[in-house]
Amino acid sequence: MKVLVINAGSSSLKYQLYNMMDESVLASGRVERIGMDSSIVTHESANKPEVRDVREILDHVTAVKRVIDILVHPDFGVITSMSEIDAVGHRVVHGGEAFKHSVIVTQEVKAEIKRLFDLAPLHNPAHMMGINAVETNMPNVPQVVVFDTAFHQTMPETSYLYPIPKVLYRRHKIRRYGFHGTSHAYVSGEAARFLGKPIESLKMVSCHIGNGASCAAIVGGKTLDTSMGMTPLEGLMMGTRSGDIDPAIVPFVINKEELTLSEVNSMLNKHSGMQAISGLSSDMREIDEAMNAGDANAKLAFDMFVYRLRKYIGAYAAAMNGIDVLLFTAGIGENSASVRRAVCEGITFLGLELDDALNTERKKTVREISKPDSRVKVLVVPTNEELLIARDTYKLTNV
Ligand code: ADP
């Protein structure tokens, strides 16, 4: 059985074709700059030449058609006909309260995703274009949607409600949803498997730190709390997002700087975080390099990033009344030994000791980086959201 995984953005579409018999990736690629006359298509697979072409792709329907054309192409393709694709799985950012699990796409599911446009105006409309584009090109192929929010739907009211008038929750569903759920679900499952322990017995803090960053307190395989909120702006300091700030700063800045609401929104999402503090870059590699070369602002950005993450880990250990596993994933979590070291150095009181040699090893597999007698296990777990989407799609359609 072959599953095509699609992550549709407003001007881009990423894809992977999986063979579910061995969970191998047969091909992957992306279409960028959809809507322009110079869209870029890149595609790669194990044994065939790579594709990179520039052509006019004005909408998602044409983008999906182009992907299929490449997948079945005699020179670059990996399948002989479209009928080899048994199902398509989509990443959808916001599932609101309606979706606690992945589901097969139906008219009702599409209508519900549409109702959620308000909560994720930058993402859900683009995902819908992807779903409709597949429907147009492959009308008989079942589709599944996998939500970034679904894994966190186990949060209790005490975690997901904000202490603001309750009518706002009733009327507008203003509450914490959390994001990166597919990643937190995948890595927490992999961590339990790696440790050979039932996930039901473990208290974990999962740190997904990339450009976007969030951590989750996971008890027995279920989210108790997570740092992103109604939108992905809350929580940790990120590449260009502020994370937690005093909400009163917003009206204050609007007043003092004569900015509009949307300008402040853009400031907090696109011009804050490590970018703003370092004055240099949102990219941890560049910040690390500059810090090592003596740049004081880069060091401040690094230190703030680490400090804020440590505070969350401590808070979640308290919220769970203990911690068995601390895990790191995503671009920074998987690759930055210096961030992991700095975070762990400051929270040894939890009963956690990093092994420096293991921490600096470069491996792409799940690995333990704490000392053998560390009570809290510290793991690096490479995330793979696409694989989890492919697995859910396979499970739901292969009945
Ligand atoms: P996204 O949220 O866009 O998916 P990623 O998970 O790819 O982001 O993470 C991107 C971040 O990972 C960037 O800040 C980048 O600098 C960081 N990163 C990637 N490789 C390294 C590395 N070797 N050392 C430090 N940081 C790294």
Q: Are residues 219 and 118 in the same domain?
A: no
SS3 at position 317: helix
pLDDT reading at 120 higher than 90: no
Q: What is the pLDDT of residues 288-301, one digit of tens each?
A: 999 999 999 999 99
335 annotated among ligand-binding-site residues: yes
Q: Are 77 and 44 in contact (CB under 8 A)?
A: no
Residue 392 maps to a domain = no
CA–centroid distance, residue 212 to ligand 1 (Å): 9
Answer yes or no: is 159 within a domain.
Answer: no
* Per-residue model confidence (pLDDT) at position 37: 86
Summarised one tens digit per residue, pLDDT across range 352-363 is 999 999 999 988
Asked if the model's pLDDT at residue 398 lies above 80, the reply is yes
Which atom of ligand 1 is found nearest the CA of 210? 9
Confidence (pLDDT) at 119: 87
Contacts of 6 (CB under 8 A, 6+ apart): 13, 14, 15, 64, 88, 89, 90, 91, 130, 134
- Quick one: 254 and 337 in the same domain? yes
- Higher local confidence (pLDDT), 311 or 398: 311
CA distances (Å), 319 to each of 71, 225, 316, in order? 48, 8, 5
- How far the first Cα of the chain sits from its last, in Å, is 12
Residue whose CA lies nearest to ligand 1 atom number 21: 335
Q: Residues near ligand 1 with C-beta < 6 Å?
A: 210-212, 239, 283-285, 288, 330-332, 335-336
In a domain, 278, yes or no: yes
Q: How many domains does the chain have?
A: 2
Interval between CA 158 and ligand 1 midpoint (Å): 32
How far is it, in rounded angstroms, from Cα 57 to Cα 170?
A: 42
375 is known to lie in a ligand binding site: no
Q: Which residue has its alpha carbon closest to ligand 1 atom 2?
A: 211
Q: Does 126 share its domain with 191?
A: no
Q: Is 208 marked within a binding site?
A: yes
Q: Would the annotation count 385 as a binding residue?
A: yes
Output the CA torsion sign for 185, 183, 269, 11: negative
Rounded Cα distance, 187 and 196, in Å? 14
Same domain, 60 and 205: no
Ligand 1 atom at minimum distance from 213 CA: 2
Q: Give nearest CA residue, ligand 1 atom 7.
A: 331
Q: Give the domain range for residue 122.
A: 2-147
What average pLDDT does this structure show over 128-141? Answer: 97
196 and 298 within one domain: yes
Token pair listed for 356: 């420096």
Give the pLDDT confidence of 32-78 residue by residue, as tens digits: 999 988 999 999 999 899 999 999 999 999 999 999 999 999 999 99
Instruction: Ligand 1 pocket test: pick from 332, 359, 360, 363 the residue with the most ligand atoms within 8 Å of its Cβ.
Output: 332
**Hey, CA dihedral for 120, 126, 132, 134, is it positive or negative?**
negative
Mean pLDDT of the chain, nearest integer: 96
Are 104 and 205 part of one and the same domain?
Answer: no
| Amino acid (one-letter) located at 272 | S
Q: Note whether residue 124 is domain-resident.
A: yes
Q: Which of 147, 167, 194 is the last residue of a domain?
A: 147
Q: Is 211 annotated as a binding residue?
A: yes
Residue nearest ligand 1's atom 27 by CA: 332
Q: Which CATH number is 247's domain given?
A: 3.30.420.40
Q: What is the pLDDT at residue 51? A: 95
Within this chain, do residues 331 and 229 fall inside the same structural domain, yes or no? Answer: yes
Going from the Cα of 283 to the center of ligand 1, the distance in angstroms, rounded, reads: 7
Q: How far, in Å, is the centroid of ligand 1 from the Cα of 330? A: 7
Task: Give the C-alpha separation, 296 to 294, whole Å.
Answer: 6
Query: For a substitution probing ligand 1, which of 148, 284, 363 has the most ligand atoms within 8 Å of its CB?
Result: 284
pLDDT at 215 over 90: yes
- Indicate if 127 and 209 belong to the same structural domain: no
Pairing of β 222-226 and β 85-92: unpaired
- 391 — pLDDT class (breaks 50, 70, 90): very high
The pLDDT score that the predictor gives to residue 291 is 98
Model confidence at 337: pLDDT above 90: yes
Asked if the structure places residue 161 within a domain, the reply is: no
35 in any annotated domain: yes
Quick: pLDDT tens for 18-43: 999 999 999 999 999 999 889 999 99
8, β-bridge pairs: 13
Is the pLDDT confidence value at 399 over 80? no
Are residue 188 and residue 113 in the same domain, yes or no?
no
**Which atom of ligand 1 is least distant from the CA of 286?**
16
- Predicted confidence at residue 359, as pLDDT, reads 98
The answer to the question of residue 115 being in a domain is yes
Question: Do 382 and 333 form a contact (C-beta atoms < 8 A)?
Answer: no
Q: How far apart are CA 361 and CA 352, in angstroms?
A: 19
- Helical H runs in the chain? 60-71, 107-115, 124-137, 157-160, 166-172, 181-195, 249-257, 261-270, 273-278, 284-292, 296-319, 330-335, 337-345, 356-360, 385-397
- For ligand 1, the distance from its centroid to the CA atom of residue 259, given in whole angstroms, is 31
Domain co-membership, 120 together with 196: no
Ligand 1 atom at minimal distance to the Cα of residue 288: 25
Q: Which residues are catalytic?
A: 148
Tell which residue, 246, 186, 234, has the closest CA to residue 366: 186
For residues 130-143, give the mean pLDDT: 97
Give the end of a domain, one of 124, 147, 170. Answer: 147
CA 13 – ligand 1 centroid, Å: 20
Q: Is 14 annotated as a binding residue?
A: yes
Is residue 27 situated within a structural domain?
A: yes
Q: What is the pTM of this model?
A: 0.95
CA nearest neighbour of 339 among 379, 305, 383 = 305
Q: Are 204 and 191 in contact (CB under 8 A)?
A: yes
The predicted structure's pLDDT at residue 121: 86
Q: Long-range contacts: 266-273, Cβ < 8 Å, 24+?
A: 268/233, 268/241, 268/242, 269/233, 269/240, 269/241, 270/240, 270/241, 271/240, 272/240, 272/241, 272/242, 273/237, 273/238, 273/239, 273/240, 273/241, 273/242, 273/243
- Same domain membership, residue 129 and residue 190: no
**83/214 same-domain check:** no
